[in-house]
Amino acid sequence: MSKPRIYADFLKLDDLGRLILVCVGTIEDLEKNNIKLEQGLELTFYSNDGDDFGNTDKLLADGVVDYDKENERWVGIIDESTFRHESDEKLAVLLVSGGLDSCVTSAVAKSHIQKLAMLHISYGQLTEERERKAFNDIADFYGVEKRLDVSIEYLANIGGSSLTDKNIEVTKADLESDEIPTSYVPFRNANMLAIATSWAEVLDADSIYVGAVAEDSSGYPDCRPAFFEAFEKTIQTGTKPDTNIKVKTPIIHLTKAEIIKKGFELNAPIHLSWSCYRNEDLACGICDSCALRLRGFQQAGLEDPIPYKS
C-alpha cells in the first residue's frame, strides 16, 4: 500500500547513515499532511534530483521512522532497495463526483501519490452542472491536469432513480430506514468503474481510487466492500495480462464524521465540494446526501462550509 510522503535531504545523514528529519521541507510536509512522527512509522521520503542535462526529478525511497535518543531527534531508516525516481511511478485514476466523499478521497490519494488523473462521470442527474463545477474546482485545487469528463446519460434513459427520472421525487431523508432509497441509481458504480478501468489501462495506471462508504451500503448495494472486491477480480480477468489495476477505497469503513475529520486533517477543499441531490445553488439540507453530510458535521463538531437553504 502507498505510504504518506515527506521531504528529506538525502545528503543530510548521521554517522549511521540515517536521514536526519529536521529540514524545513520535512517540517512543512509534516504539517501540511498532518503527520506525527512516531517510532516505526512507515513513510516514503523524497528529495530533488537532476541529471547532467538539467532535467529535474524526485528521488524516492521507502523507510521507517526511528528516534535517536542520544541526540534527541527523529531520523529515517531507508530501505536502499526501494530507491526510485518519481517519473518511474505509476499513475492513479480518481473517480471524482465532486461530493464530500470523493473530495476527501482525493486528499488521501494526493497524500500518497503525486501522479493523479481525475475522472468525472455525469449520468443525467439533476445537479449535473453543479457537480461538474465541483469536480473541476477540486482538480484545480490539486493541480491535476489530466482530466476526463464523460457522460453516461443512458442511465437517465433507463430510469429507476429519483436522481435521473423527473417523475420520481427526491424523497426527504430517513436515516433510520433500511430500505433502498429512491436516489439509488441501479448498478451505477459498475458502469463508472468500467469506464475508469478502460482509462486506467490506457494510461498504464495501477490503481483506481473510489470514495465509496460502507455506511451508505444499506441503501446502495454497489457501495459494499464485497462489490469492489468482486469488481477488482473482474478487472484482473478482463484486462491485458500485464495490466495490474487495484481498486482502492480508503474511506469505505469510516463514518461520515470520521471522513469529515480526515478531510480537515488533510486540508481537503471541502468548501469546494457539493453533495445536494436537489439543488445547484443552495443545498436543500433534506435529501439523503445532505442529511448524511449535515449529521456527519454535527457529530464531528465542525461547521459545514457550503451554503444551505435557511
Between helix 288-300 and helix 256-265 the angle, nearest 10°, is 60
Domains and CATH numbers, the chain: 5-87 (no CATH), 90-300 (3.40.50.620)
Per-position b or e across 248-281, b if 16+ CB within 10 A of its CB: bbbbbebbbbbbbbbbeebebbbebbbbbbbbee
The whole-number pLDDT of residue 182 equals 65
Q: Where are the alpha helices (DSSP H) in the chain?
A: 24-32, 100-112, 128-141, 154-158, 188-203, 225-238, 256-265, 288-300
Q: What is the pLDDT along the chain (310 residues), one digit of tens a residue?
A: 568 889 999 999 999 999 999 999 999 999 988 899 999 999 999 998 765 556 678 899 999 999 999 999 999 999 999 998 888 888 999 999 999 999 999 999 998 888 999 999 998 888 999 999 999 999 999 999 999 999 998 887 877 777 766 777 766 656 666 667 667 777 889 999 999 999 999 999 999 999 999 875 456 888 899 999 999 999 999 999 999 999 999 999 999 999 999 999 999 999 999 999 899 999 999 988 899 999 999 999 999 999 999 6
The whole-number pLDDT of residue 217 equals 45
Is the pTM value of this prediction over 0.85? no
H/E segment holding residue 281: none
Task: Report CA-CA distances (Å) from 193 to 106, 119, 138, 245, 298.
Answer: 16, 10, 20, 11, 32
